[in-house]
Every structure is written in structure tokens, then in C-alpha cells.
């Protein structure tokens, strides 16, 4: 009998945000068990909703959005994105090098396919948002992970980046604000990364989907604003800031020394044309979402829901014996460290399984973010305070007796 195997190209591809532990949680749900899912940054299930003006705009435009748009996106959306880039001081942005996408995820895949030949090396942080590593690997690239240093508030380790550059290195990826750590990179770190890219003639890819979810009065700086002489690709969107992950609204902006990437841009255009266009009704809300009052600010100031949930989860985790944690500055996530000697942990995925089966709470282990040591996990702090109190209480109770077999 002939059988059909998955492509060998998928052998080293990992996406454990929706991986085997999640499959086990789904199986348990099918048995009627209630599972608290803290594995994914999806605001809607936790009571967040889009601004009413955004919903009204989509409804108003849906009848006129039944056909394809230009592959790059509708004019009004790209114009709004270009103006947003001006506010962020991103240089040399033009309408013809802005691409809308079905979320940033689609555009990351497109960007990696257009760039990488077999064996090309690309620097990606560890821990990372695993889609970056997956898409680069699937595109034939060799992913080289550079370390983000927990002792330095999860900032990229500049010396580690330098050590890992070879003559095959083509680009560097940064995720700022960071998922899974919640780090926000200061200007001096960004400037050092720019200098490395300048010295080695690297492209810069910057994932900035959480750039409007920064707390404590801090400011996000787009690395492209510091690199007018380099070829930069910046990713952002509305999924997180406007709580509309299901609408799939993202964009990709090329800036700086675009003359260095003329052939690459031809490749992007080819791939963009092949997928015809991104969701047109979703494109129609970009202009409204980026203009005027930003409702997300209500969530991230003291007293706001995301701010207060971050405060609670940080202190609750810090108080659990055997856990240490760096306070996040942005996004929806916190990335605690486990004392592996205390808990005898050698397999972080097994830890996630064991916690799920005993307490019915779903987390993602650190290995799911290409972190090599079995000593971290990510918590999504989107649930309300009462739910977070229950979840952290269950974790404290679980760890009070847990010793991995």
C-alpha cells in the first residue's frame, strides 16, 4: 500500500505554541474537562474586543470589499501605514514598498521565502517567536540563534551576535517588543545591532507587532529609524493593539537603502502577487485604527487592565519558591525561570504536560520558543485578575510537591 509522508522540509520545523501539549489539552477538552489556555496571545476569549469605531468601519465597507485589491493592499490602508511610519521616524518609506498581509505571520513567511537560499544563515533571537525559526528553516535557511540575556533584562547579547556571524550570514531578526519575554530594547542596544549590521552588510528584519503595548511610560523605538543607510524590513499590525487577532491585519514596510534590495523586492512582489491580496474587509479598518484616539492606551496605563494583570502575575510568580522572573515592559507575556535542580526538571515539555494533566492549565514550555535549557515557560497574562489568581495559585500548589520523574 502506498502511504503519503509529510515533506522532509518539515523535519526541523517547530511551532509548539500550537504543538503536542496543545493537542493533549484539546483531547482533554473533548472529554469534557475545562482547560485554562494560557498558551497564545489571543485577546478575544478573555473579554477584550475591538474599538466600536473599527467594527463599524468594517461593516460599512464590507459590501465594497468583495473583490480583490492590489496585491500590496488598498491605497487608504497603505497611506495610513506610511504616515504611521513617519511618526515612527522610519526613513525612505514609499507606497510601493508597503505590503498588507493576513497578519504578520503570512508576511514573515513571504519575506523568508523571498530571501533565503539553501544554506544561507540568518540570525534569530533565542528565545524567539517560533514562527521566525520555522519559516526561515522551511525556506531553506540555516537558523543561527543568538542569545537574549536574562541577566540584562532579556536584551540581545551583542557579543554573542558578533561571534555567530559568518560569511554566509545574510540578515538579523529582532523581535521588539519581545515575545515571549516582554522585553523592550533600549536605544543603545538597537544602535549596537545597527552597527553590527552595517559592518557586515546585513539586512535587518524587525518584528514590532507589540509596539503600541509598551508600559511604564517607556517608548518604543523602531530600529529602522536608526538605520537610514541599511536595508530594513519592519513588521507590525493591529492584531494585538486593537484586540482583533482573528481579523488578520498586518503589514510589512521596506525602508532605508532599498536600492540594495532591488532583486529581493522583485521576489517579494512575485510572491505577493501569487497570493493575490490580503483580506480586503480587514484592510479597510487600518486607516481608522491608526488615526485618532488609541483605545489601547486605556489598557496599558496604571489602573488599566493589561497593566494591572502584568503587575499581579509578576508579583504572584516571583513569590512562588523555585521561580525567578524578569518583569516585562511590553506585550502580553512573561517568561519565568524554574529552578531545575529543585524540581529535578530535565524536560520542560514534560513539565508542561504534567502541569496540564494535574491542574488543567495550558502553558508553553521554553523549548517552544527555541530556548535550549529546560528551565523556562511562558505565561499569557490576558485573563482577568481572578483567573490569573486561580492559575498562579494552581502553579504554586503544583510546584510545592512536583519533582520530575
- pTM, to two decimals: 0.94
Find where cell 507606497 sits. 95
Q: Which three cell numbers stand for residue 43?
A: 485577546
Please enumerate in sequence order all residues whose Cβ is within 8 A of that of 15, keeping only pairs 6 or more positions apart, or say none. 130, 131, 134
Q: Which three cell numbers stand for residue 311?
A: 503587575
Give me the residues paired with residue 281 across strands.
none
- State how far Cα 257 lies from the chain centre: 25
Q: With b meaning 16 or more CB within 10 Å and e meaning fewer, what string describes 14-33?
A: bebbebebbebbeebeeeee
Whole-angstrom distance, CA of residue 284 vs CA of residue 286: 6
pLDDT band at 4, cuts 50/70/90? confident
245, pLDDT greater than 90: no
Task: Tell me the DSSP string of 257-280.
Answer: -GGGGHHHHHHHHHHHHHT--S-H
**Residue-level pLDDT at 34:** 93
Give me the residues paired with residue 233 across strands.
205, 254
Cβ neighbours, 10 Å, residue 270:
13
Helices (H) and strands (E) in the chain, counts: 15, 15
3-state SS assignment for residue 161: helix
Task: Tell me the DSSP string of 323-374.
Answer: EE-PPP-BSSEE--EE-HHHHT-S-HHHHHHHHHHHH-EE-EEGGGGT--SS
- The whole-chain average pLDDT of the chain stands at 93
Lowest-pLDDT range of 65-69, 153-157, 355-359, 374-378:
65-69
Side-chain half-sphere exposure of 30, counting CA atoms within 13 A: 6
Lowest-pLDDT range of 58-72, 127-141, 377-391:
58-72
**Residue-level pLDDT at 45:** 85
pLDDT band at 59, cuts 50/70/90? confident
pLDDT band at 16, cuts 50/70/90? low
Residue 142 near residue 119 (C-beta atoms within 8 A) = yes
Mean pLDDT, to the nearest integer, of 73-82? 92
3-state SS assignment for residue 207: strand
Summarize pLDDT for 272-290 with one digit per residue, the tens: 989 988 888 888 888 888 8
Q: Which three cell numbers stand for residue 282?
A: 480587514
Residue 256 near residue 91 (C-beta atoms within 8 A) = yes
For β-strands 142-149 and 155-156, DSSP reports them as antiparallel
Whole-angstrom distance, CA of residue 249 vs CA of residue 128: 21
Q: Which helix (H) or strand (E) holds 206?
A: strand 203-207
73, pLDDT greater than 70: yes
Mean pLDDT, to the nearest integer, of 20-40? 91
Longest Cα–Cα distance of the chain, Å, equals: 64
**Residue-level pLDDT at 194:** 98
Distances (CA, A) of 255 to 219, 223, 315: 21, 11, 40
Find where cell 521566525 sits. 132
Summarize pLDDT for 131-164 with one digit per residue, the tens: 999 999 999 999 999 999 999 999 999 999 999 9
Strand extents, DSSP E, 127-199? 142-149, 155-156, 169-175
11, pLDDT greater than 80: no
What sign results for the dihedral spanned by CA atoms 254, 255, 257, 259?
Answer: positive
**Residue-level pLDDT at 50:** 81
**Residue-level pLDDT at 17:** 65
Q: Which three cell numbers stand for residue 293?
A: 484616539
Summarize pLDDT for 194-236 with one digit per residue, the tens: 999 999 999 999 999 999 999 999 999 999 999 999 999 999 9
Amino acid at each position: 500500500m502506498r502511504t503519503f509522508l509529510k515533506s522532509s522540509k518539515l523535519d526541523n520545523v517547530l511551532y509548539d505554541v500550537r504543538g503536542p501539549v496543545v493537542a493533549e489539552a484539546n483531547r482533554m477538552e473533548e472529554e469534557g474537562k475545562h482547560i485554562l489556555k494560557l498558551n497564545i496571545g489571543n485577546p478575544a476569549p478573555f473579554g477584550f474586543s475591538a474599538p466600536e469605531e473599527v467594527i463599524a468601519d468594517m461593516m460599512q465597507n464590507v459590501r465594497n470589499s468583495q473583490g480583490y485589491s492590489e496585491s500590496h493592499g488598498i491605497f487608504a490602508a497603505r497611506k495610513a501605514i506610511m504616515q504611521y511610519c513617519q511618526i515612527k521616524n522610519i526613513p525612505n518609506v514609499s507606497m510601493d514598498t508597503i505590503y498588507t498581509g493576513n497578519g504578520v505571520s503570512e508576511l514573515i513567511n513571504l519575506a523568508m521565502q523571498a530571501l533565503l537560499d539553501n544554506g544561507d544563515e540568518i540570525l534569530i533571537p533565542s528565545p524567539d517567536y517560533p514562527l521566525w525559526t520555522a519559516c526561515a528553516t522551511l525556506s531553506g535557511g540555516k537558523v543561527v540563534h543568538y542569545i537574549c540575556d536574562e541577566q540584562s533584562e532579556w536584551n540581545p547579547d551583542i557579543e554573542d551576535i558578533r561571534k555567530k556571524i559568518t560569511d554566509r550570514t545574510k540578515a538579523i531578526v529582532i523581535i521588539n517588543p519581545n515575545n515571549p519575554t516582554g522585553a523592550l530594547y533600549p536605544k543603545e542596544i538597537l544602535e549596537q545591532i545597527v552597527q553590527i549590521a552595517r559592518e557586515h552588510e546585513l539586512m535587518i528584519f524587525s518584528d514590532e507587532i507589540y509596539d503600541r503595548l509598551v508600559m511604564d511610560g517607556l517608548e518604543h523605538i523602531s530600529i529602522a529609524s536608526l538605520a537610514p543607510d541599511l536595508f530594513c524590513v519592519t513588521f507590525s499590525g493591529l492584531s494585538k493593539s486593537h484586540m482583533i487577532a482573528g481579523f488578520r491585519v498586518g503589514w510589512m514596510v521596506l525602508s532605508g537603502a532599498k536600492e540594495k534590495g532591488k532583486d529581493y523586492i522583485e521576489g517579494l512582489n512575485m510572491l505577493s502577487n501569487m497570493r493575490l491580496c490580503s483580506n480586503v474587509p480587514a484592510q479597510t479598518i487600518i486607516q481608522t485604527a491608526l488615526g485618532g484616539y488609541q483605545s489601547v492606551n486605556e489598557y496599558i496605563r496604571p489602573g488599566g487592565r493589561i497593566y494591572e494583570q502584568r503587575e499581579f502575575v509578576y508579583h504572584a510568580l516571583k513569590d512562588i519558591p523555585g521561580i525567578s522572573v524578569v518583569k516585562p515592559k511590553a506585550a502580553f507575556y512573561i517568561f519565568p525561570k524554574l529552578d531545575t535542580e529543585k524540581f529535578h526538571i530535565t524536560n520542560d515539555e514534560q513539565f508542561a504536560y504534567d502541569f496540564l494533566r494535574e491542574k488543567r492549565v495550558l502553558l508553553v514550555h521554553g523549548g517552544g520558543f527555541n530556548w535550549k535549557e529546560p528551565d523556562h515557560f511562558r505565561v499569557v497574562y490576558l485573563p482577568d485578575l481572578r483567573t490569573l489568581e486561580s492559575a498562579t495559585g494552581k502553579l504554586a500548589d503544583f510546584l510545592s510537591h512536583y519533582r520530575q520523574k
